[in-house]
Structure 1
């Protein structure tokens, strides 16, 4: 079971999941350009931006609650450049002061025991962080990059829209997204394609709408980023 809702933290969503079944099962988490703070049965960890699918072995009944920061919005709250967490899962205590991380873990655990919202606890903590509201410069860069790569614009055009040079844009992208604009564009386009396919669109239509050269290009990109075929993801 997986559900989510919009968060009070700008650019974020709260999600929660309980693993079904009676045996440990593998779950494939697709790269999406996001960063998450995750409460996993009492422990708090941070999932950095992935460049490829991350396979998780879920035990039956495992509970997860997460605060997912949209592309470019997590580093200011977490206090670390995104590229330092790329393809990593680390305890929150490695990023925040130990006492602060412990108090948050205790509050989240108490909320879970009392049947209250663990997500609300994570939101409150994130909202109190100094970087919870992005600065105007970072907001302009993030918006220009996300909109640009989704529209398939060349990097030079995206840099111009953001008001910076291409090299500076690349450095800023590493800090806020974890990777450069081309990689971010591949990941966001792949996610759009998967959503279209799961919605029932024929794969040829998915390729055309999502901006791939053809269906073969779509297939190569999906397999490269997720490790499986688009048909497998849809099933």
Structure 2
């Protein structure tokens, strides 16, 4: 069972997922899709960070209980203290990033909490208070690319050269603006398709050249074609 809610941390989502031994096989292998985000995770006594994905990620191991805070795109590096590119397509123990003593104390708090996700959220809020507000340029970039604006035009509007935009994007999102645009287009297409929009119309509205282009891009990013992906339980 999966549940999520908006976090008290701006733009973030607090979520939990419990997959029991009797759950359908499709539910246990549902991929985590690229979305431009990074997560602070708890998994039955383990604390991890999920870096930004460039392809669908299949969770390892048997069915388990998970909780997490999913940070808005571009905001996690300032809170976690590590550039996003260092964690691209990786799941890393939090103790490899933060002082071990602090991680042990946090793990004890989260393990003992009735709601592990809320305990993680409290830690994220505390770190956000120390880190200060996120770079407003990042939010503008995500909004523009998420709406399908071209990368070059967006860079011009932001007053940034191509190299400067690429450098700032890699540090904040883990990859360049063109990959970020593809990831956001994937999410835009899935939202349309899940709302019942036919795939040919979804392709046009999401900014693909045609339905074949949508199929190729979704398959490359998600690891499976759109029809198979849309058939999985959410």
Moved over 6 A (4+): none
Aligned residue number for residue 121 of structure 1: 119
Is the Cα contact below 8 Å between 1:27 and 1:58 reproduced in 2? no
Asked if 1:153 is matched to 2:149, the reply is: yes
Q: Deviations over 1:12-55 (max 9, x none)?
A: 11000011343773231111110000100110000000000011
Aligned residue number for residue 144 of structure 1: 140
> TM-score w.r.t. structure 2 length?
0.91
Summarize the Cα distance change of 1:123–1:222 in structure 2 as closer, same or farther, 3 Å threshold.
same
Comparing 71-80 and 51-60, the one that deviates more: 51-60
Structure 2 counterparts to residues 1-235 of structure 1, below 5 A: 1-22=1-22, 25-57=28-60, 59-60=62-63, 62-111=64-113, 116-129=114-127, 132-135=131-134, 138-139=135-136, 141-235=137-231
Provide the secondary structure at the position in 2 that maps to 1:38.
strand
Partners of 1:184 and 1:212 in 2: CA distance:
15
Provide the secondary structure at the position in 2 that maps to 1:56.
coil
Partners of 1:121 and 1:35 in 2: CA distance:
17
Is the Cα contact below 8 Å between 1:14 and 1:66 reproduced in 2? yes
Q: Unaligned 5+ residue runs, structure 2?
A: none
Q: Offset at 1:129?
A: 1.5
Is the Cα contact below 8 Å between 2:148 and 2:206 reproduced in 1? no
Summarize the Cα distance change of 1:162–1:80 in structure 2 as closer, same or farther, 3 Å threshold.
same
Q: Deviations over 1:141-183 (max 9, x none)?
A: 2122112212332323222332322211110000001011110
Provide the secondary structure at the position in 1 that maps to 2:59.
strand
Partners of 1:213 and 1:232 in 2: CA distance:
21
Q: Relative to total residues, which structure has the larger strand share, 1 or 2? A: 1
Partners of 2:17 and 2:131 in 1: CA distance:
25
Summarize the Cα distance change of 1:132–1:67 in structure 2 as closer, same or farther, 3 Å threshold.
farther
Q: Offset at 1:94?
A: 1.1
Is the Cα contact below 8 Å between 2:146 and 2:188 reproduced in 1? no
RMSD across aligned positions (CA): 1.6
Partners of 1:6 and 1:132 in 2: CA distance:
20
Is the Cα contact below 8 Å between 2:151 and 2:181 reproduced in 1? no
> TM-score w.r.t. structure 1 length?
0.91
Partners of 2:31 and 2:152 in 1: CA distance:
34
